[in-house]
Structure 1
Amino acid sequence: MSKVLLIGASGTIGQAVHANLGARHDVITVGRSSGTHQADLARPASLAALFAAVGKVDAIVSTAGNVHFGPLAEMTAEQFHIGLQDKLLGQVQLALLGQRYLNDGGSITLISGILSTEPIRNGASATAVNAAIEGFVTAAAIELPRGLRINAVSPTVLTESMGTYAPFFPGFEPVPAARAALAYQRSVEGAQTGRVYRVNA
């Protein structure tokens, strides 16, 4: 049974990923304020402490990351910085640190999102952050040693989140979180690297 470190385990996708992978793997749950361990993507020291506590793992999975949504005309650099510091740099830091704690042949799976290729109003920050994550994954894949792999999952808006996000995604067909979890399963249990698994309707 593989040891999987799941960041963002209490979120909508995180719970679906836990349900999927937990049937076959030993899943260690991590959240900002819940889970077996606590860590915050925006605080690099907390990630370092997390790995020091957990030790070697076979897979690192991220379903977390905050970005700012708002009109470009009113957006400040500080607001744009939220996504850069949290979802982008937080996940990059997770990968940079995590590679040292992965067993040979292990994998890293990050999360981006459909806005990397399908921009919406009020989503300039999210589009930039998601596209950067996908660029990082494709580049990191050619350098990782010891058979390590890295992929990203890029889901569209979730069925479970439409109550909150429907006004931002007019005309988008949502998918259930369980569909996104299948892409995480492909990444963790498959053999591919440098891939962006796009989960669309």
Structure 2
Amino acid sequence: MKVMVIGASGTIGRGIVENLEKDHEIIRVGKTQGDLQVDLTDEASVKQLFTQSGKVDAVIAATGSVHFGPLAEMSSEQFNVGLQDKLMGQIRLVLIGKNYLHAGGSFTLTTGILTQHPIRTGVNATAVNAAIEGFVLAAANELDFRINAVSPTVLTEALDKYGSFFPGFESAPASRVALAYRRSLEGIDTGKVYRVW
């Protein structure tokens, strides 16, 4: 299959590419590097991405920024970071990309453990992740292709940087998280959230 991986240079993205590249043709997409570039906050950029790629069999989004900070000090502008990047960025991929998907194709989006298990300073992430999961559950009933999401815990590779924000959480290596993306890509499910915790 011809598979577009957005966020291919990130920790999860690299794990996905390593897992899939032996069996599939991978189009690596990043904000500043990869085979193609995209700014998910810019609709014109997303349209250009698919114009350049042409039809694909699957789109995997392993990307998206959110704002971390105390809710008491958060502005609506800061909260909007997660809404425009991780939430609407992934939704834009579906709304525009659906016209570039071969029959039988699929989308796989990314949420995270904070949907069910909030942490201090993570309100934006929890809200955004929950919205993505809601979108996937509802969209699966209306689309002519499969759509799922992967919800990973904190990555083992990121513990040095983020471990202190996730006290007592069990981590998972990117290679294990990547299996859920393969399951979504090659399986039969739709409207599912694969939780890797």
Q: TM-score range by the shorter chain?
A: over 0.9
Counterpart of 2:155?
Answer: 158
Query: Which of 180, 184, 187 is the aligned partner of 2:181?
Result: 184
How far apart, CA to CA, are the structure 2 residues paired with 1:158 and 1:42?
Answer: 25
> Structure 1, residues 28-84: CA drift from partner, whole Å, max 9, x if none?
000000000000111111110000011100000000000000011111111100000
The structural deviation recorded for 1:169 is: 0.4
How far apart, CA to CA, are the structure 2 residues paired with 1:40 and 1:163?
Answer: 28
Alignment of 1:71-110 (within 5 A): 71-110=70-109
Counterpart of 1:66?
Answer: 65
Counterpart of 1:15?
Answer: 14
Q: Please, which runs of 5 or more residues in structure 1 have no aligned partner?
A: none
C-alpha RMSD of the superposition: 0.5
1:175 lines up with 2:181 in the alignment: no
How far apart, CA to CA, are the structure 2 residues paired with 1:164 and 1:43?
Answer: 29
Provide the aligned length of Structure 1 versus Structure 2: 197
The structural deviation recorded for 1:97 is: 0.8
Percent identity over paired residues? 61
How far apart, CA to CA, are the structure 1 residues paired with 2:175 and 2:42?
Answer: 29
How far apart, CA to CA, are the structure 2 residues paired with 1:139 and 1:72?
Answer: 28
Q: Which amino acid aligns with 1:187?
A: S
Q: Which amino acid aligns with 2:46?
A: L
How far apart, CA to CA, are the structure 1 residues paired with 2:84 and 2:172?
Answer: 27
The structural deviation recorded for 1:23 is: 1.2
Counterpart of 2:132?
Answer: 133
SS in 2 for 1:197: strand
Q: Which amino acid aligns with 1:178?
A: S
Q: Which amino acid aligns with 1:130?
A: N
The structural deviation recorded for 1:116 is: 0.5
The structural deviation recorded for 1:105 is: 0.5
TM normalised by structure 2 equals: 0.99
Counterpart of 2:23?
Answer: 24
How far apart, CA to CA, are the structure 2 residues paired with 1:81 and 1:180?
Answer: 27
After TM superposition, what 4+ stretches of structure 1 lie above 4 angstroms from structure 2? none
